[in-house]
Amino acid sequence: MNAETLKKYMDIAPEIEEAVKAGKPVVALESTILSHGMPYPENLDFAAKVEEVIRAQGAVPATMAIIDGRLKAGLTPAELERMCRADGVLKVSRRDLPIVVANKLTGATTVATTMILANLAGIRIFATGGIGGVHRGGEDSMDISADLQELAHTPVAVVCAGAKMILDIGRTLEYLETMGVPVLGMDTDDFPAFYCRKSGFGVDFNCKTPADVAKIAKTKWELGLAGGMLIGNPVPEQYAMDFDEMSAVIEKALAQAEEKGVKGKNITPFLLAAIVELTGGDSLKTNIQLAFNNARAAAQIAVELAKL
């Protein structure tokens, strides 16, 4: 997309635009975690803290959203408040993007859409909670998150605490391998499972430092290899949840979804809300801490990439 067309559709906050032009470290953030993942006003407090974590490492935060049909890289306080209040805020993936923009609607960006907007704004590093993937039973339902296709095609490195535990993690990793997406571990040999530090599945390479990740990202893109990378960053030990306990909770949440006939794009928000209820709020506390941890790691990687 040329600069003129980009201006027609997108607003990039001056601080972010200047940082990208100067080759300074910038970290993209999604907005679905705010509008569809947390209650108000806790989400507003969380949004401010995530930005602080990124700035403390020497990088610039860039929250993505669509407001009244405008693509946004960086939000004003009023726009952030609007996303957190979530009145009439849609959950927007790649397929929804042209509909939302053409009709001047307002939406929060998923992992896939955040990657698209980050790439348009020239941002290479993105911190999220957990990625979407192949849903359990996906071999029959074909319920596979658009996040995986985006990772195959869009040159953005995504730092996450693994795939959400509600998914089929083994099949998710198989899909990423088929799509040629490098899956790196942030000082781990084991791909993390969101609330838990280990999933029982390995990563392609254990990066001991943020500089190791930056070096691989730079090499991948300089070689002209399409797509992004996935960096699994385990939740800190003190906030991690027990794998067996969480597996039992997820089975209960899946049974509730089945009973209520919840499907498609509504399944993930439903399951995450059910898990919060079933864990007495503990899963939300873990979710918040892993998001801070991912923001910190992403900012450190962005700083190293800027040095290269």
| Residue 206, SS3 per DSSP | strand
Per-block mean pLDDT, blocks of 10 residues, the chain (308 long): 93 98 98 92 96 98 98 97 97 97 98 98 97 90 92 98 92 97 98 95 98 98 98 97 93 93 83 91 93 98 98
How many domains, the chain? 1
Question: Whole domain around residue 242: which residue ranges?
Answer: 3-307
150 is catalytic: no
Report the CATH number that the domain containing residue 129 is assigned in CATH.
3.40.1790.10
Backbone conformation region of residue 23, classed left if phi is above 0, alpha if psi is from -120 to 50, else beta: left
30 is catalytic: yes
| Residue 37, SS3 per DSSP | coil
The per-residue pLDDT for 141 is 84
**102, HSE (Cβ side, Cα atoms, 13 Å):** 5
The per-residue pLDDT for 267 is 84
What is the distance between the alpha carbons of residues 152 and 176, in angstroms, rounded to a whole number? Answer: 7
The per-residue pLDDT for 89 is 97
The per-residue pLDDT for 136 is 86
| Residue 58, SS3 per DSSP | coil
Q: Which of 51, 79, 150, 164 is catalytic?
A: 164
Q: Which of 30, 79, 150, 304 is catalytic?
A: 30
Return contacts of 84-89, CB within 8 angstroms, 24+ apart. 84/34, 84/35, 84/40, 84/41, 84/43, 84/44, 84/47, 85/40, 86/34, 86/35, 86/36, 86/40, 89/35, 89/36
Quote the pTM value.
Answer: 0.95
Token code pair at residue 299: 């900012």
